[in-house]
């Protein structure tokens, strides 16, 4: 509980938890070949295509266990729910 002074008035305020929506977990099917990764079965999400490309790029950019790397390009097809992620260097 806190008291805040606003324009010669005091207001008592208190902190309450804010419920946050849980993230969406999903499974991706991936085929790896040199510099490119083909991703399929991407779930339909109510977000613009450019946001989906950004999410895919963040997911594959320098992933934890030695995979990933710098991304050159992400091509996403909303209709087929597939993507091609192209890395700058093979690995």
**Residue 1 forms part of a structural domain:** no
**Residue 18 forms part of a structural domain:** no
Q: Structural domain tally of the chain?
A: 1
**Residue 13 forms part of a structural domain:** no
pLDDT of residue 5: 82
Domain span at residue 62? 31-87
- The pTM of the full predicted model, rounded to 2 decimals, is 0.58
- Mean pLDDT over 63-67 rounds to 57
Question: Is residue 10 within 8 Å of 2, Cβ to Cβ?
Answer: no
**Segment 30-37 long-range contacts (CB within 8 Å, at least 24 positions apart):** 34/90, 35/72, 35/86, 35/87, 35/88, 35/89, 35/90, 35/91, 36/84, 36/85, 36/86, 36/87, 37/84, 37/85, 37/87
pLDDT in tens, 20-63: 776 767 676 766 667 888 888 888 888 889 989 998 888 888 66
57 phi and psi angles, rounded to 5 deg:
-60, -45
pLDDT of residue 24: 67
């Amino acid at each position: 509980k806190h008291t805040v002074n606003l324009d010669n008035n005091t207001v008592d305020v208190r902190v309450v938890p804010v419920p946050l929506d849980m993230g969406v977990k999903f499974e991706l099917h991936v085929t790896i070949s040199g510099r490119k990764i083909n991703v399929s079965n991407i779930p339909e999400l109510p977000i613009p295509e450019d946001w989906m490309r950004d999410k895919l790029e963040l997911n594959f950019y320098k992933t934890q266990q030695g995979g990933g790397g710098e991304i050159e390009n992400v091509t996403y097809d909303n209709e087929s729910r597939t993507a091609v992620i192209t890395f700058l260097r093979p690995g």
